[in-house]
Structure formats: structure tokens, C-alpha cells
Amino acid sequence: MTTPIDGTRVLRDLYELRKIGEYKTGVHRPSLSNEHVMSLQWLVERLKAIDAEPIIDGIGNVLGYGKPTTVKLLAGSHLESQNYAGWLDGALGVVYALEAARVINCNDAFNAAAVEVGAWCDEEGHFGHLLGSRSFCGDVTESEIDAAINRTDSGKMRDALAKAGLAQKKRERLETGRYIGYLEAHVEQGDWLESNDLEAGVVTTIVGVWQFKVNFEGFQNHAGTTRMAIRKDAGLAAAKLCVTIDDCFPKAAGPRTVWTTGRLTLDPGAPSIIPGKAEMLFQIRDADSRVLARMESLLYELVADADRSGPCHAQVESLRKSQPAKMDERFQAALETAAERIVPGKHTRMPSGAGHDAQIFAGQMPAGMLFVPSIGGISHHWLENTSNEDIVLGAQIFTDAAADLLRQELAVSS
């Protein structure tokens, strides 16, 4: 049976959050920026209103620990955004978790059960790799935080934590056995649901994301007086590798493998100077680690070829690797049952091409993810959007699935 939510309240929360760091129709709320900290405080206030004891911890995670109950479900997502990007990426999952907690935790039928809400810092990788959820799972050392720098302004994470007033705070740690599992909702960020006229996606697997940096070393020189035959143009070498990758990768790729050169930096980056250096940030994604490993070795081969053939030197280094994660079958079934109840026949099971905190939690406990449609499949852009109707339908599916999972556990433990 349905556990009714307040759809107007869900929309009000999301539109309020959008005002924090508003940029065109999206938000600019980078990790640990003033705007991000304001959004954490926004969540703390709403968790206090439902008698949770919210904490902002030493890495910028928010935890809303509820009343002591026998059965608990952890739910959440993230509140920071990519730079100048979408208003729903992360925020939707946090608000759905908040609404499920509001509806379930004060419902007498669940007096021995509760949803606890988490917002995980830096899912968007401004400082590192899924640092908030990994920290909560005990996978982040102090030295990793010491070394973390902001990818946009090179600021130290330690300084950003101090500025946010979090420097002396301890980091919260997942208590083993506290939760029956983790549930996260998210905008799909692709066009699969919309193009198939579907309302909900039950995530089966989350891709692994393997990040690399390729450095090119040529020779900086005058753009006008240096003959073409003797140039060592690092920018050209980087561009050539991008084209070679695009020629060679499809032959080795899996059906859903993707690869992206997200940033190409030329040094010194002046129109009248042949770039002596170039840096290429490159990533490969797939739901199968064996495919990722195959693509990685091909990348290393292509870089070695570029280095051998010159005229620039080229070398590649691995920056970070998140592993693919399978979502728990029982959690998928609960999401699917709820979706069939709310949007009969308009849902599907599907892989996630985006990385999510749920893939970290999947290593600690059962985890499940729900997708709602993204208009035009656009995300990581301020144009990202989902209709109010789809937002509310998703919130109802999410809360129903959370309630059903808690009921199942209560039935077993009673």
C-alpha cells in the first residue's frame, strides 16, 4: 500500500534549494563553497524539524540520526553541484530522503523503524573521489584529505573545511549493522527514460569510472618564426591522441563503454606561442571491470605509440578508479513494486552511466537506486530539468519503496 507523501512540500524544498547558489535555471554550488555550506545548513534545519539529530561532520557530510529504533534505512545523495550545473543532480535524492523520513518516522505504523538521511560531500569530485561517502565508510585517510586540492582553483580541501568551520569536527563513521541498506534517488542524467516514455528507472548496476591524466612535453616556441617541420607542438600531440582514441576505442569497447576527454590544458596557452606542454584529463566508464581494464591497456598502448613516434613525449598516469557496483536484488524489487503501483507499466530496470555514492555503500550493505527522467537527457548543465509531475511521482515511488523495505524488515524481526 502507498505511504502518501506531500508532493507540494517536495517541490517547495527543491525550489528553495535551487535559490542557494542559483545560476540561470541551475545552481553553482561547488563542494565546501559558501553556497554548499548554506545548503547543508538548510538540510540541518529541516532534519531538526523532524527530531533527527543532524550533524555536519569533519568532511562536510550531513547525517540526520533519527530516534532509536530497531530497523533503520539510510537514504540520501549530495547537495554540492558541478560548476554552473543542474539544480536536481544530488538535491533530488536528498529531498526524497528527507520526505521519506518525514512521512515514515512520524507514522505510528513504523514506530520501530526509521529512515536516516545523509548528504555526502563532494560526490561531484571537486576535491577527490566520492570523498564524503567513502569517508563515512571508513575509506578516506587524513593524508588523502591533506593532499586533496580543488580541481578548479587548486585550493586545499583542508583550507576549505576550515573556512566552513569544520576543521575540528570529527568525521562520522558508518556503524556496522545499523542499517538494512541504502536507498538513493537521482535524476537519470540521460535520455533513456524520456525517449522510451517511461517515468522511473530501477538501477541494476552503476558504472566504474577510471580517470587518467596524460601529459605531453614538446617545446615552447614562437608561433610565427618556427618552421612547421621543426615544431614540437604539445597541443597538436594531445589533439592527435584524442582522434586516435576515437578511432581505436570502438573496436575494443563494450556495448555501453564511454570515454571522455573532459579537460585539455595547453601551456602557456597563448595564441602566439606553440604550446610546450599539454595536459589531458581522460576517463573511461563501463559496468564491467574487465572491459575497463581492457580499455585501460589500450590507452596505455596508444600513449606509448604517441611517445615513440614523437615529436613530443607523452606519458599517462591513473588518477582514480571507482569500481562498478551491482544494486541489491531485493532493493531493486522493492523499487520495481513501488513503481508498478505508482506508474504501472512505465518503469524499467537500467544501468547507471553516472557514478553515485550508492556504489560506495553497495560495498557495505544492500543498496538501491531510483532514477527519474531528465528532460532532453541533459545534466551537468544548468539546463538540467525534470517536470514537477515526474519529481512528485518519483518521490512517491521512493517513499513507498523505503516503507516497503522497512515493513519487510519489521515483519522478519518481530
Least distance (Å) between residue 354 CB and ligand HGY: 3
Contact 182, 75 (CB under 8 A): yes
Q: Which three cell numbers stand for residue 215?
A: 601529459
355 binds, among Mn ion, ligand HGY, none (CB under 5 to 8 A by kind): ligand HGY
Q: Which three cell numbers stand for residue 193?
A: 527514460
93 binds, among Mn ion, ligand HGY, none (CB under 5 to 8 A by kind): none
* Residues at the contact surface with ligand HGY, assessed by CB under 6 A: 123-124, 354-355
Q: Where are the alpha helices (DSSP H) in 217-328?
A: 234-252, 289-309
CA pair distance 2, 252, nearest whole angstrom: 46
Question: Whose Cβ is closer to Mn ion: residue 66's or residue 90's?
Answer: 90
89 binds Mn ion per the rule CB under 5 A: yes
Half-sphere exposure of 344 (CA within 13 A, CB side): 1
Cis peptide before 311 (omega within 30 of 0): yes
CA pair distance 250, 270, nearest whole angstrom: 34
Least distance (Å) between residue 350 CB and ligand HGY: 15
90 binds, among ligand HGY, Mn ion, none (CB under 5 to 8 A by kind): Mn ion
Question: Whose Cβ is closer to ligand HGY: residue 54's or residue 132's?
Answer: 132
Least distance (Å) between residue 124 CB and ligand HGY: 5
Q: Which three cell numbers stand for residue 154?
A: 587548486
Least distance (Å) between residue 301 CB and ligand HGY: 26
Least distance (Å) between residue 355 CB and ligand HGY: 4
| 337-356: burial string, b at 16+ Cβ within 10 Å, e else | ebbeebbeebbbebbbbbbb
**DSSP string over 132-181:** HHHHHTT---HHHHHH-B-TTT--BHHHHHHHTT-TTPPPP-PPTTS-S-
Least distance (Å) between residue 29 CB and ligand HGY: 13
CA pair distance 270, 275, nearest whole angstrom: 8
188 binds, among ligand HGY, Mn ion, none (CB under 5 to 8 A by kind): none
Question: Whose Cβ is closer to ligand HGY: residue 57's or residue 123's?
Answer: 123
Least distance (Å) between residue 298 CB and ligand HGY: 22
30 binds Mn ion per the rule CB under 5 A: no
336 binds, among Mn ion, ligand HGY, none (CB under 5 to 8 A by kind): none
Least distance (Å) between residue 46 CB and ligand HGY: 24
CA pair distance 84, 23, nearest whole angstrom: 6
Least distance (Å) between residue 123 CB and ligand HGY: 6
Question: Whose Cβ is closer to Mn ion: residue 250's or residue 376's?
Answer: 376
Question: Whose Cβ is closer to Mn ion: residue 89's or residue 286's?
Answer: 89
Question: Whose Cβ is closer to ligand HGY: residue 262's or residue 311's?
Answer: 262
Question: Whose Cβ is closer to ligand HGY: residue 78's or residue 277's?
Answer: 78
Question: Whose Cβ is closer to Mn ion: residue 359's or residue 396's?
Answer: 359
CA pair distance 278, 112, nearest whole angstrom: 58
Question: Whose Cβ is closer to ligand HGY: residue 31's or residue 399's?
Answer: 31
CA pair distance 231, 153, nearest whole angstrom: 31
For Mn ion, which stretch binds (CB under 5 A), given 82-90, 271-279, 280-288, 386-394? 82-90
Mention every residue, 6+ apart, whose C-beta is less than 8 A from residue 65.
52, 53, 54, 55, 116
Candidates 76, 91, 74; CA nearest to 35 is 91
Size of the site for Mn ion (CB under 5 A): 2
Question: Whose Cβ is closer to ligand HGY: residue 355's or residue 366's?
Answer: 355
Residue nearest ligand HGY, Cβ-based: 354
312 binds, among Mn ion, ligand HGY, none (CB under 5 to 8 A by kind): none
CA pair distance 37, 52, nearest whole angstrom: 19
Could you say which of 90, 201, 275, 373 contacts Mn ion (CB under 5 A)?
A: 90
Cα distance from N-terminal residue to C-terminal residue, the chain: 20
Contact positions with Mn ion (CB under 5 A) in 116-175: none
Binding-site ranges for Mn ion (CB under 5 A)? 89-90
